[in-house]
Amino acid sequence: MIYLSLFSISFLAATILPFSSELMLAGLIATSNYDNFLLLIFASLGNILGSTINWVLGFYSRNLTANKWFPFKLSQIESSSKWFDKFGKWSLLFAWVPIMGDPLTLVAGLLRVKFLEFLLLVSIGKVSRYFFIYYFI
């Protein structure tokens, strides 16, 4: 059950909701009551799936970004777009960065980044971040 909770928190943390999957993962690793490998897998899969939802949202909603109900603010999209313009698809390695990373995955969808490239780069960045947390706990 704790693995599903970690998956859910990690998924929600990849959206605009203010969740911290890093704190939950670090706490669970610190307790030593769970399989650390499974914790890393569930956290990574949840976070990657959340970013994938952002990419899909961007890919299929190019004309909706100006609406008030749209989940990302225009300022977030513009800031992420500047990063994307400067560093290209490689900026997706930083999709885990708070505040900027989630809109970055949306911008990747808006700009029609190939899904497999998106998935590979986002996965490398997010899994690396969780391994970093594991290593220093």
User: Mind giving me the DSSP string for 1-61?
Assistant: -HHHHHHHHHHHHTTTS---HHHHHHHHHHHT-S-HHHHHHHHHHHHHHHHHHHHHHHHH-
**Percentage of the chain exceeding pLDDT 70:** 99
Would you say residue 111 has pLDDT above 90?
no
Give the total number of structural domains in the chain: 1
Q: pLDDT at position 34, please?
A: 94
For the ranges 3-12, 72-81, 86-95, 101-110, which has the lowest average pLDDT? Answer: 72-81
What is this structure's pTM? 0.86
For the ranges 12-26, 62-76, 113-127, which has the lowest average pLDDT? Answer: 62-76
Overall size of the chain counted in residues: 137
Range of the domain at 61: 2-136
